[in-house]
Amino acid sequence: MEVNWIERPCRVVDRACEARALARQAMLTKPPGSLGALESAAVHLASLQGKDAPSLKNVWITVFAGDHGVAAEGVSAFPQAVTGEMVRNFARGGAAISVLARELGASLEVVNLGTVNDPGTCPGVRTVYLAPQTGNLAREAAMTDAQLAAALQAGADSVEAAHTADVQLFIAGDMGIANTTSATALACALLGESPQDMVGRGTGVDDAGLARKVAVVASALSLHADASDAREVLRRLGGFEIAAMVGAYIAAAQRGIPVLIDGFISSVAALAAVRLNPDSRCWMLFSHRSHERGHALVLAALAAKPLLDLQMRLGEASGAASAVPLLRLACALHNGMATFAEAGVSDGPA
Ligand SMILES: Cc1cc2ncn([C@H]3O[C@H](COP(=O)(O)O)[C@@H](O)[C@H]3O)c2cc1C
Ligand SMILES: O=C(O)c1cccnc1
């Protein structure tokens, strides 16, 4: 039987290029390590791109959208109709990620996997219709096997389009009212954490909403406690857009395209991707620490140190997009600084 594509090997990272990048950093006119995370990011990008001069000229962003049945439990501060409305807003260029993508000169693709409030055909939106929404994970499995497979494939298809466009970085973003509930349940199940330690306010639920969210995640975890592996956990507790992000992260690692992880939702998808295909972890850079409560535990489980902590809690890939200018600076420093020898600056101990 053919191995499921999810399990196929990831591209091997270029360790010789990494060693050359580390050696170059040591020769640049600065005390070793003084540019901190900008140094390690440049070295990481060089090793992933297999280029002595890493570049982030062409950046690709896909926002995956999908609705969640669990919204019916009153776990979001906003109505479910917002998901479809925001798809239209992305298409018209008015969302935060639309502005950020324009500023970065990045390609922005929107993939609608199914919303209750159907935005219809919008320019720049690829529709991969799975259902109006997932099943309510507090009462049933979120997805069927076929829906999960199609969502994973939708993510891989975006990576294929990005590959054809010859991009140097892939960013995935999420849009789906109630998806912090889904992502939190998924993270709790994958990490064995308790809902009390993970559930946050998402779009800004009040204390009663927070208590409801904790109860919903707790009952979902007991309902799906017999889920046998990471794929089944993802099928039962995930969302269309979250599964598409998982598929995209794994496909990018297999294609050899570095990915920049966004906030909480994106990191939970990254965690699921790593559980399904552990070598995909090498291809991930982490952009920011979200204000959403559970993010710290998810980042710790991935041994991830994000570049920024701006108290952002939006999703849509907005945190990742905000970190791109820093990564571009990291590349420019790596490629453009003079070495001690070139500049005639003394590099030895005093
Ligand atoms: C106008 C608007 C734009 C958004 N863009 C991203 N999100 C973010 O908030 C939602 C998750 O939070 P919760 O679980 O509390 O519903 C997701 O749609 C996520 O992408 C938005 C939310 C709203 C309201
Ligand atoms: O960090 C995130 O991804 C996030 C946080 C709150 C709401 N939506 C997304």
Angle between helices 81-92 and 96-104 (to 10 degrees): 30
Tell me the pTM. Answer: 0.98
| 201 Cβ closer than 6 Å to some ligand 2 atom | no
Report which protein residue has its CA nearest ligand 1's atom 13: 178
pLDDT of residue 63: 98
Q: Give dist(CA 288, CA 241) in Å, integer.
A: 20
The answer to whether residue 193 is catalytic is no
Tell me the residue type at 189: A
Which one of 177, 182, 199, 206 would you pick to mutate in the ligand 1 pocket, going by the greatest count of ligand atoms within 8 A of its CB?
A: 177
**pLDDT tens column, 222-270:** 999 999 999 999 999 999 999 999 999 999 999 999 999 999 999 999 9
Write the pLDDT tens digit of every residue in 63-102.
999 999 999 999 999 999 999 999 999 999 999 999 999 9
83 CA closest ligand 1 atom index: 18
Question: What are the φ/ψ torsions at residue 46 (nearest 5 degrees)?
Answer: -60, -45
Residue 309: nearest ligand to its CA? 2
Please state the atom number of ligand 2 nearest to the C-alpha of residue 262. 3
Let me know if 16 is exposed, middle or buried by CB neighbors in 10 A (0-12, 13-18, 19+). Answer: exposed
Share of the chain above pLDDT 70, in %: 99
**Nearest of 29, 62, 52 to residue 244 by alpha carbon:** 62
- Largest Cα separation within the chain, whole Å, is 69
Q: Which entry of 73, 109, 241, 316 is annotated as an active-site residue? A: 316
pLDDT in the model for residue 1: 47
Domain residue spans of the chain: 57-326
Cβ 38 vs Cβ 333: under 8 Å: yes
Residues of the chain scoring pLDDT < 70: 1-3, 349
- The contacts of residue 145 (CB under 8 Å, 6+ apart) are 235
Which pLDDT score is estimated for 350? 74
- ipTM entry: 0.99
CA gap 112, 175 in Å, rounded: 9
Ligand with an atom nearest the CA of residue 292? 2
CATH architecture of 57-326: 3-Layer(aba) Sandwich (3.40)
